[in-house]
Amino acid sequence: MDNAHANLGTKRREILKGMLAMSTSLMGLSVLHPVYSADDMVVKGPRVPDVKPTQVSAHCSVIIAKDPEPTPENQGMFSNMGIIITQKGVVVFDTGGSVQIGEMLIRQIKKMTDKPVVKVFNSHFHGDHWLGNHAFVQEWPNVEIYAHENMHKAMKEGVGQFWVDLQARATNNATAGTVVTPPNQVLKGDEVFDMGDTLLRVHYYGKCHTDADICLEVTADKTVYAGDILMAGRVDNMDDGSFIGSIEGIKKLKDDTQAANYVQGHFKFGPKQADIYLAFLEAIYNNVVAFQKEGVSPTDVKPKVIAKMKQYRDWKGFDAVIGRYIALAYTEAEATSF
């Protein structure tokens, strides 16, 4: 099969899957003359076992993912999902990394309340945080799905299929059947939503973990869902991010919200998560800058900084990513000093 043909096949499959997912009238399909071959069949991976939500504050809960990365065993579940129950309905912050994970999240919400999900927020465009959108559109076709305008841009550039494929590969196809379901509402930052018994405030601080990170503040509870801007205890993938941006962004987030609880995109929540992660980023960055000033060669900076970071050694993912973190800090520090 040549490339053009292969692409056409993939495209057609996506269109078909999309239409089925959106429960669009089947009439439209006849226009496409679909021929189902074996590889056109949408096979669905198994359901994800229930994980009980943990209460964070009066309105807020979170389903904590215990693993740091996707595996066949965890079926691609490695990021947290927030649930906010308000007078005007349920709000979800991040929907998980597959349709199956989204469905599991919906099952837990239905055990907590009879209210429908009225708003979904996607913290950023990494697929472990939003591929579960598919399940929400199936359950509530009119649900509003919000994301920063830069996530909408990334979706147009194909980040969705990249993550569908990545999750399928990492889980031996446990996530099969997940259809890219983009957000349908655009955020720029500083939006405020009145949910009756609390306000929801959107915060955007430019490029931090990515250029599309939003944080959601639940004002009545002083709880902030921070997405991957905060990663205390579990580090991964700064490749789309910025050190200087993250450090400035976290400082502003703290000033703007004075939150009593920060819910991270992975691992933990707690009152100190912003301080802990800020200290970690500053330690890396300030050490890199200091060694650069001393004229230490680029190759020697890495081991010297790692030696200064001993207290963080037990953080999940530390050994795998610390080198890339330092390299990024080095590049940014160098660019700033000229």
Residue ranges in contact with Zn ion by CB under 5 A: 126, 228
Alpha-helical regions (H) of the chain? 3-21, 99-112, 133-139, 149-156, 159-170, 243-257, 273-293, 298-308, 318-337
Give the residue nearest to Zn ion (CB): 126
In whole angstroms, the minimum distance from the beta carbon of 237 to Zn ion comes to 6
Transcribe 132-154 into DSSP letters.
THHHHHHH-TT-EEEEEHHHHHH
Q: Is the dihedral of CA 295, 300, 302, 306 positive or negative?
A: negative
Matching residue, tokens 């790692």: 306
Q: Which is nearer to Zn ion, 59 or 234 (CB)?
A: 234
**Which CB, 102 or 227, lies closer to Zn ion?**
227
Q: Shortest approach of Zn ion to residue 96 CB, angstroms?
A: 13
CB of 128 to Zn ion, least distance (A): 7
Q: Which is nearer to Zn ion, 211 or 228 (CB)?
A: 228
Shortest distance, position 76 Cβ to Zn ion, whole Å: 14
Q: How far is the CB of 209 from Zn ion (least distance, A)?
A: 6
Minimum Å gap between C-beta 126 and Zn ion is 3
Two structure tokens written together for 283: 């330690």
Q: What does 196-228 look like in DSSP terms, one character per residue?
A: SS-EEEEE--SSSSSSS--EEEETTTTEEEEET
Shortest spacing between CB 146 and Zn ion, in angstroms:
17
Q: Which is nearer to Zn ion, 90 or 247 (CB)?
A: 247
Q: Residue 292 corresponds to which tokens in the numbers above?
A: 């650069």
Name the residue nearer to Zn ion (CB basis): 217 or 228: 228
CB of 198 to Zn ion, least distance (A): 26
By C-beta, is 126 or 148 nearer to Zn ion? 126
CA distances (Å), origin 298, targets 293, 313, 318, 331: 11, 22, 20, 10
**Cβ-based nearer residue to Zn ion, 126 or 152:** 126
Instruction: Please give the Cα distance from 207 to 238 (Å, whole number).
Output: 11
222: Cβ–Cβ under 8 A, 6 or more apart, which residues?
57, 257, 258, 259, 260, 261
CB-based contacts of 321, cutoff 8 Å, min separation 6: 235, 236, 237, 238
Separation in Å, CA 310 to CA 246, 266, 278, 302, 313: 21, 22, 16, 13, 5
Please say which residue, 126 or 302, places its beta carbon nearer to Zn ion: 126
Residue among 295, 319, 291, 320 nearest 305 (CA): 291
C-alpha 1/C-alpha 85 separation (Å) is 50
Our measurement of the distance from residue 248's CA atom to the centroid of its chain's CA atoms, rounded to an integer in Å, reads: 20
